Amino acid sequence: FAHTPELGSLEVHPRTAVGVDDKGVIRFIAKECTENPLDLAADFFGISRERIKLVDMTGFETRFFFPGFIDTHIHAPQYPNNGIFGESTLLDWLNIYTFPLESSLKDLAVAKEVYSRVVQKTLEYGTTTAAYYATIHTEASKLLADTALRMGQRALVGKTCMNANSPNYYRETLEESKRGTLDVIRYIEHRDPSGDLVKPILTPRFAASCTEELLSWLGELRKVKGYHCQTHLSENENEIKWMAELFPQYANYTDIYYQNDLLGPRTVLAHCIHLTDDEKDLLVETKSGVSHCPTSNSSITSGEARVRWLLNSGINVSLGTDCSGGFSPSILEVARHALLVSHHLVMSTHNDKEKLSVKEVLYLATVGGSKVLDMEDKVGTFAVGKKFDAQLIDLCVRGSNIDIFDFQRPKWGFVERGQSEKRFGNLICKWLFNGDDRNVCRVYVNGRPVVYRE
């Protein structure tokens, strides 16, 4: 078992047994375990050995469990456009590629196909939790929640709100937006009353696509009911100029969300590339979280977010694929780009401290996500009381991108603990830079296997 409980740490626990109950909760962790795990679990739970399912990975020296990835920003309906963005930048990209595609999901047959594929694909890449934007369509948004429930992915699902500055063919009225939002929330809360797997999230697309009246109504709902909220912030320079034109009465882009009560500890702000110090202070004050989307930011030429600056300010930062501004459904790939983009920043600022390490970007991909989504007590690491949301990685899969020679294998059984951690550190680097879905052999959410490949 490996995980990153603190920013910059990587803990490795070889020869460890983890006991999970029928609700998917981790109940014990036996490190350096020498007992038969079946006996251990039978004793712990007070039941017979026959009722325990043992997943035994002893002898697989290149396999390890890692916490499932958390994608805090993904547009499910844009999945068919992954990789298709040409030379566009945000505002023309929305009109040329994005709105036409999203409007086609009004057709439930289209929505069904797209949503099953995006949930399946992200699960196969080890994403156990995702914060999804759907479209403006109420029924299709419900279908996305149903799809996550059926396939067993932990998800926040939001009906996208757009009642202004949007094309005629893809725009709602204020009343439709309010009614649709409440309808989808009620539906999700009815389908998963405990909220154990799928929950609603308020989703004003970005300030430009909503009237002030809609923003303040959503803000009031957020404040009263404590719902999660997600939107875009400070992604592109032309976008920022446009916001200043549309909302001259506010001090800056962030202030639009601030004054309308949309910021808070359960609010996810995607991008946050060009923030001023004042705007950063508003995020700190409201404990709002950031979804860093480096793959998207490079693809549609939005910029390089200053992640170290955000982290040093005490802001929670996580990772988002931002499909299809970003071309990849893989958080592992986004983590790789987060690292490389931080190197690019250093090339212009010459401040080495901006560099993000392998361990740090894996933290953003797991614990960072859990903090931004206010699920830190539930997911992100392996700990007693948390849910078993995990991916089983195998670095030695025939035909995968990783080539590990025999002498590089960790040999858990024969070396001292410190040594195996050092060797394992190198293997984690190989995984980050060369791994992909071929290395994911199983994925568990709530202790339940949702991807199973041998």
Residue 274's binding partner, choosing from Fe ion, ligand GUN, none, with beta-carbon cut-off 5 to 8 A by kind?
none
Residue 70 is encoded by which pair of tokens?
């958390």
Which C-beta is closer to ligand GUN: that of 3 or that of 271? 271
CA distance 22 to 129: 19
- Within positions 291 to 310, which residues make up the interface with ligand GUN, using CB under 6 A? 296
Tell me how far CA of residue 160 lies from CA of 62, 91, 180, 222, in angstroms.
42, 17, 9, 15
Helix axis angle, 108-124 relative to 138-151, nearest 10°? 30
Among Fe ion, ligand GUN, none, the one that 205 touches (CB under a kind-dependent 5 to 8 A) is ligand GUN
Smallest distance, Å, CB 23 to ligand GUN? 35
Closer residue to ligand GUN in complex, CB, 240/415: 240
- Binding-site partner at residue 206 among ligand GUN, Fe ion, none, CB < 5 to 8 Å by type: ligand GUN
Residue choice 172, 304, 322, 389 for contact with ligand GUN (CB under 6 A): 322
CB closer to ligand GUN out of 94 and 130: 94
Cis peptide before 324 (omega within 30 of 0): yes
CB of 217 to ligand GUN, least distance (A): 19
Window 172 to 201, contacts with Fe ion (CB under 5 A): none
Closest CA to 376 of 329, 318, 332: 318
Q: How far is the CB of 306 from ligand GUN (least distance, A)?
A: 18
286 binds ligand GUN (CB under 6 A): no
Q: Which is nearer to ligand GUN, 67 or 320 (CB)?
A: 320
Which one of 90-98, 376-384, 421-429, 438-446 is the stretch in contact with ligand GUN (CB under 6 A)?
90-98
Q: What is the DSSP string of 129-147?
A: EEEEE--S-HHHHHHHHHH
Q: Of these, 68, 204, 294, 325, which contacts ligand GUN (CB under 6 A)?
A: 325
Residue facing Fe ion at closest CB distance: 322
Total interface residues for ligand GUN by CB under 6 A:
11
- When CB distances are held under 5 to 8 angstroms depending on the partner's kind, the choice from Fe ion, ligand GUN, none that residue 255 binds is none
CB-CB contact of 400 with 438 (8 Å): yes
In the window 308-347, what residues touch Fe ion (CB under 5 A)? Answer: 322
Strand ranges in 236-281 using DSSP code E only, listed in sequence order: 267-271
The residue at minimum Cβ distance from ligand GUN is 325
The interface partner of residue 98, options being ligand GUN, Fe ion, none and the CB cut-off 5 to 8 Å by kind, is ligand GUN
Looking up tokens 């995702």, which residue turns up?
Answer: 130
CA distances from 342 to 309, 332, 365 (A): 11, 16, 15
Q: Pick one of 124, 146, 192, 235: the residue that binds ligand GUN (CB under 6 A).
A: 235
CB count in 10 Å sphere of residue 353: 10
Cβ closest to ligand GUN, residue 162 vs residue 379: 162
Q: Say if CB 87 and CB 146 are below 8 A apart.
A: no
**Closer residue to Fe ion, CB minimum distance, 272 or 402:** 272
What does the alpha-carbon distance between residue 386 and residue 382 come to, in Å, rounded to a whole number? Answer: 7
Among 62, 81, 88, 98, binds ligand GUN (CB under 6 A): 98
Looking at 19-95, list the stretches that DSSP marks H as alpha helix, in order from N- to C-terminal side.
37-45, 90-93
Of 81, 237, 95, 97, the C-alpha closest to 166 is 95
Q: Nearest to residue 393, comparing CAs of 62, 70, 71?
A: 62
Per partner kind, with CB cut-offs from 5 to 8 A, the member of ligand GUN, Fe ion, none near residue 127 is none
Q: Which of ligand GUN, Fe ion, none does residue 235 bind to, with CB < 5 to 8 Å depending on kind?
A: ligand GUN
How far is it, in rounded angstroms, from Cα 322 to Cα 72?
Answer: 9
The item of ligand GUN, Fe ion, none sharing an interface with residue 253, based on CB under 5 to 8 Å by kind, is none
Cα atoms found within 13 Å of the Cα of residue 72, Cβ hemisphere only? 36
N- to C-terminal Cα separation, the chain = 19
Inter-residue long-range contacts of 275-280, CB under 8 Å, 24+ positions, other chains counted: 275/233, 275/234, 276/252, 278/251, 278/252, 278/254, 279/234, 279/252, 279/253, 279/254, 279/255, 280/309, 280/310, 280/313, 280/315
How many residues of this chain interact with Fe ion, rule: CB under 5 A? 1
Min separation Cβ 133 and ligand GUN, Å: 7
The residue (of 253 and 431) whose beta carbon lies closer to ligand GUN is 253
168-227 binders of ligand GUN (CB under 6 A): 205-206
Binding to ligand GUN, residues 24-63 (CB under 6 A): none
How far is C-alpha 442 from the geometric centre of its chain's CA atoms? 18
* Window 68 to 87, contacts with ligand GUN (CB under 6 A): 75
CB nearer to ligand GUN: give 37 or 325. 325
Chain contacts with Fe ion (rule: CB under 5 A): 322
Which residues are at the interface with ligand GUN (CB under 6 A)? 75, 90, 94, 98, 205-206, 232, 235, 296, 322, 325
